[in-house]
């Protein structure tokens, strides 16, 4: 059963007469209680995709369907009411909390908006229960955000997101600004909450190690397109798209003595100023052939639930073509 479906979402921004094609036709399904990771470098359109999924920006074309409801068809009022079911945790824990409002009031705000029937005392009890659930205490409720550590601030962000018991939470790089030790504990918290409440996560990240820990499926984005998607373990251990391979080879292995083949990409990520007319990786790809530059490559299944947008997804068992192991 899916809780959210992104259907061929496109997002074009206009900045000073120039067009930016941030998202170029992405379709993605998130199942109930599932964690789907969206990974990619900055500029890949993953955060824009998250905002579209939240209904914070209207896609240029395509639609977002949440629990059978097309977000595009909702009035502003209906959309606001639906927000109690779709929540978000942002990357910057401090910036996402109003510096003038006490932590307890920040966590209480979604209840004030979505559960107006609650009494003050009920709300306070719910807030304190929630603070304790995310590993803080009632005493923290009286503090201002700046008097908390980064990890605590992010726990507040999480508490605010889940207090209305949403079915889907978009996690926009929730741990990337945290210390490694804090990161692990915040990830544990997120996983426990998911198990308790059957929340679905859209986990936006550029950190493959984190993604491997928390997600069931991943979608790899590059230049506004999903170039590979599939079960996390499958994609991370058996990547088929040259971009995924390059991304994986650029991260350090945690296994002592293990050497990964290094997959080089030429040049830098280009500006997404026009809709792609050829494979998005064309010009940077180590295994490029002439056909790659003639049409945009779409996702094709290579294995069970594993799709890759590459004409040479099957031709990758020739290490020579990739430069070979070092």
Q: Which residues bind another protein (CB under 8 A)?
A: 54, 56, 80-81, 83-84, 87-88, 90, 92, 95-101, 109-110, 113-114, 157, 160
**Can you read off the two tokens belonging to residue 131?**
């603070």
**Minimum Å distance from CB 177 to another protein?**
12
CB 41 within 8 A of CB 23: no
Q: Which is nearer to another protein, 77 or 317 (CB)?
A: 77
Q: Which is nearer to another protein, 114 or 312 (CB)?
A: 114
CA distances from 2 to 67, 85, 199, 296 (A): 7, 14, 12, 28
**Can you read off the two tokens belonging to residue 30?**
């998130």
Residue 127 has a CB neighbour count (10 Å cut-off) of 23
Q: Which is nearer to another protein, 55 or 239 (CB)?
A: 55
**Minimum Å distance from CB 79 to another protein?**
8
Nearest to 92 by CA among 173, 207, 163, 149: 173
| 309 strand-pairing partners | none
Please, what's the largest Cα pairwise distance for the chain? Answer: 68
CB 45 within 8 A of CB 223: yes
**Minimum Å distance from CB 166 to another protein?**
10
**Minimum Å distance from CB 54 to another protein?**
6
Q: Which is nearer to another protein, 92 or 207 (CB)?
A: 92
Q: Which is nearer to another protein, 116 or 325 (CB)?
A: 116
**Minimum Å distance from CB 26 to another protein?**
20
Q: To the nearest 5 percent, what fractions of the chain are helix, strand and coil?
A: 35, 25, 40
> What one-character DSSP code corresponds to residue 175?
T
268: buried, middle or exposed (CB in 10 Å: 19+, 13-18, 0-12)? exposed
Q: Which is nearer to another protein, 50 or 151 (CB)?
A: 50
Alpha helices in 83-179 (DSSP H): 103-114, 120-133, 150-162
**Minimum Å distance from CB 21 to another protein?**
22
Q: Which is nearer to another protein, 54 or 204 (CB)?
A: 54
**Minimum Å distance from CB 201 to another protein?**
15
**Minimum Å distance from CB 116 to another protein?**
12
Place of tokens 């945790």: 89
Q: Which is nearer to another protein, 90 or 243 (CB)?
A: 90
289: buried, middle or exposed (CB in 10 Å: 19+, 13-18, 0-12)? exposed
Strands 18-31 and 61-66: unpaired
Q: Which is nearer to another protein, 103 or 297 (CB)?
A: 103
**Minimum Å distance from CB 161 to another protein?**
8
């Amino acid at each position: 059963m899916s809780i959210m479906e992104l259907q061929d979402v496109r997002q074009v921004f206009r900045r000073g007469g120039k067009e930016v094609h941030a998202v170029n036709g992405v379709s993605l399904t998130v199942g109930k209680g599932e964690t789907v990771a969206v990974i990619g470098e900055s500029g890949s359109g993953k955060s824009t995709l998250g905002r579209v999924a939240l209904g914070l920006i209207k896609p240029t074309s395509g639609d977002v369907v949440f629990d059978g409801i097309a977000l595009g068809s909702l009035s502003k009022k209906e959309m606001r009411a639906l927000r109690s079911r779709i929540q978000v945790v942002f990357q910057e824990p401090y910036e996402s909390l109003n510096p003038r409002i006490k932590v307890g009031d920040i966590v209480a705000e979604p209840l004030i908006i979505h559960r107006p029937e609650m009494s003050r005392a009920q709300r306070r009890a719910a807030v304190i229960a929630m603070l304790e659930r995310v590993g803080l205490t009632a005493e923290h409720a009286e503090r201002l955000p700046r008097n908390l550590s980064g990890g605590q601030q992010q726990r507040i962000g999480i508490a605010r997101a889940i207090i209305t018991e949403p079915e889907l939470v978009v996690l926009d790089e929730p741990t990337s600004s945290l210390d490694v030790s804090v990161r692990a504990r915040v990830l544990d918290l997120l996983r426990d909450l998911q198990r308790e409440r059957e929340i679905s996560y859209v986990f936006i990240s550029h950190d493959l190690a984190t993604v491997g820990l928390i997600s069931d499926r991943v979608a790899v984005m590059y230049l506004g397109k999903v170039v590979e998607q599939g079960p996390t373990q499958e994609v991370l251990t058996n990547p088929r798209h040259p971009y995924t391979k390059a991304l994986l080879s650029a991260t350090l292995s945690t296994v002592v003595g293990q050497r990964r083949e290094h997959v080089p990409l030429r040049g830098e990520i280009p500006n997404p100023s026009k809709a792609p007319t050829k494979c998005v990786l064309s010009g940077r790809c180590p295994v490029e052939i002439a056909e790659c530059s003639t049409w945009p490559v779409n996702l094709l299944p290579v294995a069970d639930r594993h799709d890759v947008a590459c004409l040479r997804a099957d031709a990758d068992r020739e290490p020579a073509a990739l430069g070979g192991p070092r």
